[in-house]
Amino acid sequence: EIVLTQSPGTLSLSPGERATLSCRASQSVSRSYLAWYQQKPGQAPRLLISGASSRATGIPVRFSGSGSGTDFTLTISSLEPQDSAVYYCQQYGSSVSFTFGPGTKVEIK
């Protein structure tokens, strides 16, 4: 089973700053199989990025994904107050299985 590790655990930044969130896999993951979600308190997760770098419908351009192999990154280019949330990466594995990373909490100062 592929294990996903996310860092940092918490990121505290000011509005307008750039946020860089890391997702590292214990084995190589196809770019097609890597997604990112945003979850705000009391809400369901929302798909941000699929295929490592494709923004989902309606997602602002300040959100971008990159990476390959075992290292993937979610970047928020200029933080806005409403970006305060927990961000999860997720991978699709062989034999039809899905695993999530533990999440990175983004706090806006």
Partner 1 sequence: QVLLQESGPGLVKPSETLSLTCTVSGGSIGYYYWSWIRQPPGKGLEWIAYMSYSGSSNYNPSLKSRVTMSVDTPKNQFSLKMTSLTAADTAVYYCARLPRLTPYFFDFWGQGTLVTVSS
From CA 90, how far away is CA 51, in angstroms rounded? 11
Token representation of residue 79: 């933080």
By CB under 8 A, name the one of 19, 21, 25, 103 that touches partner 1: 103
Backbone angles phi, psi at 33, to 5 degrees: -105, 15
Residues 29-68 that bind partner 1 (CB under 8 A): 32-33, 35, 37, 43-47, 50-51, 56
Smallest distance from partner 1 to CB 104, Å: 11
Rule CB under 8 A: is residue 7 a binding residue for partner 1?
no
Rule CB under 8 A: is residue 77 a binding residue for partner 1?
no
Judge contact between 13 and 105, C-beta under 8 A.
no
Rule CB under 8 A: is residue 104 a binding residue for partner 1?
no
Token representation of residue 32: 């097609």
Nearest C-alpha neighbor of 19 from the set 59, 70, 74: 74
Binding residues for partner 1 (CB under 8 A): 1, 32-33, 35, 37, 43-47, 50-51, 56, 88, 90, 92, 95-103
